[in-house]
Amino acid sequence: MDVDTVLALAPDKQVATAAARLAAPGNWRGLGHDEHAVWGQCRGSGKNPYQVCVDLDDRATKCSCPSRKFPCKHAIAVQVLHARAGVGAGEPPAWVSEWQHRRDVRRVPKELDESPEAVERRLAQRARTSEARDLAVQGGVVGLREWLSDVARRGIAELPGRDRAWWESIIRRMVDAQAPGLAGALEDLAAVVFLGGAHWAERAADRLGGLHLLATLAAKPPPELADVIRMRLGFTTPEQEVKAKPGWVDEWVVLLRKDEDNGQVRTTRQWVWGRARGEWVVVFRHAAGNAPAGPALPVGEFTGELHPYPGGAPRRVAVGEREPSRAAGPIDLSPTWTTALAGLEPQLRQDPWQRLHPLTCQRVRLAAGLLIDAEGRALPVADTVATDRALAIHGGAHFDAIGLWDGWDIRIGAAAHPGAAPEVIA
């Protein structure tokens, strides 16, 4: 496997990011591989290193760390090192051979006990595992509420004076509580504070408010938000499970894209419009190394099935069976910015924590960093490169705009002559 394929095995973005960070020889000792397995010992927070091994035939993993995610970040990291040819050949140590032997024994076909007692035991075990995770996450939520109260007492103005270690302390606490979604939200808040700028305090207050809402509702989620709250806390659904359920068949138009790089993992998000459904969905792809993640879908329009994950708006989807792409045709657009922004209300009710929404408007014009509609109302524009491309295509004339709105400004991603098919420009 190459590095990107290995990282795709991670159960979520947080594991992929942590694995990419760990995939350095200095974090390991006793690395080795043979034709059947790769192994190593990774330095952890305790006295003893974690013993990690991976079966190269079916990519099964074994790690002595306490993570409840499978595969864990250590198992992904050792495979990344192996993919980079950073692991030499050798004889497996005893603990690896013993693990392989136990797996060989278990591979002997065994009829699953379907007796009522056995089924009940399996269900009980799953329930205990789920309950333990829920308790750990709720403990993290309590810790977050205490931290937010402390920030509120001291005031937002004090945040820029806090060093990285202070931020890392609460972020690590959320990771230890098995709430990677909360850890990611805190990292985003820290980035806003460190970046600064004229409106950093307003942006930080917005994110603190979102964290407070999430921490408050997490104790007793309302039924209509239960799925999205679990997602925001960091509970994940495997892609195989998502694809096993019926998907949405439609004519899909691929229009918007955003690339992100946190220094370890590159993420590409694509927003896709469903003609019959009349709604946007989003597709994720993660990668590491020097190459960008690249899009999961080519620009254009296709007929196919996309499988929705639980919770969120726009809904995240996994790509199922699809026909080859073709040139995209025109899509329905909002007549004004007022109509477009009002149309976001249902999505915000479904997911109050979503900060990036596709937005469209007919017949706009660019002037002084603003995108002005037919009523004379304007939104500020981000990304001068995309703005310059729109100007190069349409000059000073009116055009139809499609972009991503983050609550502060809009980033143009596609544009069209009024009533014509959109052209992706960013």
Residue 292 has pLDDT above 60, yes or no: no
Please state the φ and ψ torsions of residue 42, each to the nearest 5 degrees: -105, 135
Pairwise CA distance, residues 300 & 277, whole Å: 18
CA angle at 33 for the pair 28 and 34, rounded to the nearest 5° = 170
Contact 287, 293 (CB under 8 A): yes
Q: What pLDDT does 293 receive?
A: 60
Question: Of 414 and 288, which is predicted with more confidence?
Answer: 414
Q: What pLDDT does 346 receive?
A: 93
How is 157-222 classified by DSSP, letter by letter? GGGGGS-HHHHHHHHHHHHHTT-HHHHHHHHHHHHHHHH--TTHHHHHHHHHHHHHHHHHHHTS--
Residue 395 has pLDDT above 90, yes or no: no
Distances (CA, A) of 42 to 6, 47, 76, 250, 337: 18, 11, 12, 46, 53
Residue recorded with tokens 């990774």: 42
Q: What pLDDT does 111 receive?
A: 74
* Closest-CA residue to 37 (of 105, 106, 95): 95
CA angle at 373 for the pair 422 and 414, rounded to the nearest 5° = 20
* Closest-CA residue to 184 (of 222, 231, 243): 231
Q: Which secondary structure element, helix H or strand E, spans residue 96, and what is its range?
A: helix 94-106
3-state SS, residue 23: coil
Pairwise CA distance, residues 319 & 415, whole Å: 25
Pairwise CA distance, residues 293 & 317, whole Å: 17
The residue type found at 76 is: I
**Residue 193: pLDDT band with limits 50, 70, 90:** very high
Residue 305 has pLDDT above 70, yes or no: yes
**Predicted model pTM:** 0.71
Mean residue pLDDT of the chain comes to 91
Take residue 361 and report the two structure tokens written for it: 């408007």
Q: What pLDDT does 290 receive?
A: 53
Q: Cis peptide leading into 292, omega within 30 of 0?
A: no
Residue 265 has pLDDT above 80, yes or no: no
Q: What pLDDT does 260 receive?
A: 84
Report pLDDT digits (tens) over 204-223. 999 999 999 999 999 899 99
Residue 288 has pLDDT above 80, yes or no: no
Report pLDDT digits (tens) over 116-155. 888 888 888 888 888 888 999 999 999 999 999 999 999 9
3-state SS, residue 361: strand
To the nearest whole percent, how much of the chain has pLDDT over 70? 97
Mean pLDDT (whole number) for 173-195: 93
Domain segments of the chain: what residues? 3-106, 118-233, 239-322, 337-424
Mean pLDDT (whole number) for 164-181: 92
Q: Which secondary structure element, helix H or strand E, spans residue 258, and what is its range?
A: strand 248-261
Mean pLDDT (whole number) for 320-344: 95
Q: What pLDDT does 407 receive?
A: 92
CA dihedral 118, 119, 122, 126 (to 10 degrees): -160
Residue 314 has pLDDT above 90, yes or no: yes
